[in-house]
Chains A and B, each alone.
Chain A
């Protein structure tokens, strides 16, 4: 618990988590509000339409989580951290936990905030959360943000540079996973197994012939993340700080 408290203090005494929070919540809820305000026509506003801003929030979370560890390398405070807590695995796990918890909370606020904003602003809606699937698609955002934050922290530990880690994460999520699908013949099959495509299945409505169901997709995403985290912790323990 001491370690968690330490990392919580470190995280909230710098500025980047604060502006990340404002940006992630502001833009996601803001987009949902705009969707609500501009919506008209015969078809009621759907749950999917209220949640599209959460994709943006995910990018902000990735950046925030990566920065939480790369700035420690940038300012060499990681050395102070390892001096105070020589068990590097424990220190980094504590950081990962705190960042992931923050990301989860932000994800829930962003998702339910978007849902509520659209419900309030739009006139013709069909936004009742009735089925388990409905709940998964809104409340699931928090889980996704939390696990994605762990992945970003792991990448941050491995790359150690803000610019590099952020570029890798954003280009991977937004571009590479989409481009892969364009490769003739094999592309689509590979794409099914890419981690953030799995996230889309979890937050969406995958058909019965999808390679993995929604919860299995989330488990797969968590598994990929765990592998990355183990690799990151292993390399951090071996490396000179």
Chain B
């Protein structure tokens, strides 16, 4: 618990997490407001459509999580950290936990905030959260953000440079996964198992037949796993990356 408190203090006494949190919330909720405000009678706003900005929030959260560790390397405070807490695994796990929790909280606020603002702007639209699909489409975002933050921290530990880590993360999630899909024959098969595509399946996958116009939401995933195994797969990927990062950090000079 002490270590968690330490990392919480470190995170919140710098500016970048605040900026990132505000930006993530502003953009996701703002986007939902825009969607609701421009909805019309023939294409009413749906629950899925309130969450269009979630991909954007995900990027911001990953940048935040990567920065939480790369700035420690940048300013060499990682050395002060390891001096105070020589058990590097414990110190880095505490940081990962705090960052992941913050990311999950941002995700939930962003998701419910987006949904909430849509219900305010379009009170007549049917935005009641009833089905498991609808719950996942909103509440599931926190889980995706949380594990994505674990991935981002791990990449940050491995790369140690802000620019490098952010480039790897953003290009991987927003571009490379899609580009791989374009390879003839094998591309689609590989794409089905790429982590962020699978994570997307948790949020958008398995729509129940009664759900309204799901095509109005974020694009669907082509992953073959059903939603909950998809989340487990994504979490597993995050954990594997984290284990590699911790091993490397333990071997390396600080």
Contacts and interface: CB of A to CB of B under 8 A. Distances in A.
**Chains A and B come from one and the same complex:** yes
Interface of A: 16, 31, 34-35, 38-41, 45, 49, 52-53, 55-56, 59-60, 63, 67, 70, 162-163, 166-167, 170-171, 174-176, 179, 182-187
Interface in B151-185: 162-163, 166-167, 170-171, 174-176, 179, 182-185
Given A31-B183, A183-B34, A183-B38, 17 more contacts: A38-B185, A39-B185, A49-B184, A53-B179, A56-B171, A59-B171, A163-B63, A170-B174, A171-B60, A171-B174, A174-B171, A175-B56, A179-B31, A179-B52, A184-B35, A184-B43, A186-B38
Nearest to A28: B179
A166 B184 contact: no
A38 B183 contact: yes
Nearest to A167: B63
Contacts, number: 95
Nearest to B185: A38
A38 B181 CA distance: 12
Contacts of B84: none
Nearest to A62: B167
A163 B167 CA distance: 9
Contacts of A60: 167, 171
B184 A41 contact: yes
28 contacts: A31-B179, A38-B186, A39-B185, A49-B182, A49-B184, A52-B179, A55-B175, A56-B175, A56-B176, A67-B163, A163-B67, A163-B162, A167-B59, A167-B170, A170-B59, A170-B167, A171-B170, A174-B170, A175-B59, A176-B56, A179-B56, A183-B35, A183-B38, A184-B35, A184-B38, A184-B43, A185-B38, A185-B40
Given A38-B185, A40-B184, A171-B170, A184 B52 contact: no
B187 interface: yes
Contacts of A52: 179, 182
A134 B144 CA distance: 42
B55 A179 contact: yes
Nearest to B182: A52
B107 interface: no
B166 A182 contact: no
- Sort A-B residue pairs by CB-CB distance and give the 3 closest, nearest first: A174-B174, A163-B162, A162-B163
A38 B182 CA distance: 11
Bin the interface of chain B by size: 20 to 34
Given A31-B179, A175-B174, A184-B38, A38 B163 contact: no
Interface in B3-61: 31, 34-35, 38-40, 43, 52-53, 55-56, 59-60
A185 B40 CA distance: 9
Q: Which of A41, A184, A186 has the most CB of B within 10 A?
A: A184
Nearest to B59: A171
Q: Which of B31, B38, B184, B185 has the most CB of A within 10 A?
A: B184
Given A167-B166, A179-B53, A184-B39, A174 B175 contact: yes
Given A59-B167, A163-B63, A179-B56, A184 B184 contact: no
A71 B139 CA distance: 40
A40 B184 CA distance: 8
Contacts of B182: 35, 49, 52
A56 B183 CA distance: 14
Contacts of A67: 163
Contacts of B176: 56
B55 A175 contact: yes
A185 B63 CA distance: 31
Contact of A184 (B40, B166, B179, B186): B40
A166 B118 CA distance: 31
